[in-house]
Amino acid sequence: MREILGRRLQRLRDRFRSPRPAPGRTGVPPALLDAARTCATLRQWPVLPGVGRSATDGSRCACPDPDCVVPGAHPFDPGLLAATTDPRMVAWWWTRRPAAPVLLATGGTAPCAVSLPAGAAARALVRLDAQGLRLGPVVATPTRWSLLVAPYSLERLGELLYAKDHVPSSLRFHGEGGYLLLPPSAASSGGQVRWEREPGPDGELWLPDVEAVVDALVEASSGAPGGGSRLAY
């Protein structure tokens, strides 16, 4: 009995001790860990690791769903509620899973986002720039771009969209209880996530209100092909 209890105690100590590189991982570039640390500490954005791709089949998600529409690019274990700005927890996660995507838990005091197909987003940015609107960071994957905006509530968003004649299904909102894949993670659709427009240095961050951008995004998304039936980030 003492031997069994001793093994259990040792497993608990191993689980909660300071981070150490996983076996065979010593040569892995720390880009994702550095990005996660920057988001959590400099910008105070709550982050967590995405589930990642299957170790046996890199084309599939590591989650149990064989038909996952965002392979590798969503929370699973830990779940979304575990998102944190604690640098120790961030280091613990990414030291053990250095290839894990970086996810931002949107809403609350963290930025929210509005995403749309890449081509439509590029047109919308041209229009918004022409209007002289100051934009915040823009996250880009090969298929979709996401404009970061100031936090909004679901009630406020609902009132805003209710006033529209039509909201395209290809336009998506990442608010309270949502998440967003951040650079330099691998996109679920292939390729890599990047900053189309980067956050300011030294933690400086400007975020427009969602009301300021939604008209241009709705108009640009209305002509987007495919209707947005799959997430395809």
* Domain ranges for the chain: 28-222
Question: Taking phi first (over 0 means left), then psi (-120 to 50 degrees means alpha), and beta for anything else, what does residue 202 get?
Answer: left
The 10 Å Cβ neighbour count of residue 113 is 26
Residue type, 164: K
Contact status, residue 63 vs residue 211, Cβ threshold 8 Å: no
Identify which of 132, 93, 137 has the alpha carbon closest to the alpha carbon of residue 113: 137
Low-confidence winner among 13-22, 101-110, 121-130, 144-153 (lowest mean pLDDT): 13-22
pTM of model > 0.75: yes
Mean pLDDT of 207-215: 94
Q: What pLDDT, in 10s, does the model give residues 164-181? A: 888 888 899 999 999 999
Identify which of 14, 53, 154, 36 has the alpha carbon closest to the alpha carbon of residue 87: 36
Q: How far is CA 61 from CA 5, 119, 137, 231, in A?
A: 36, 26, 28, 14
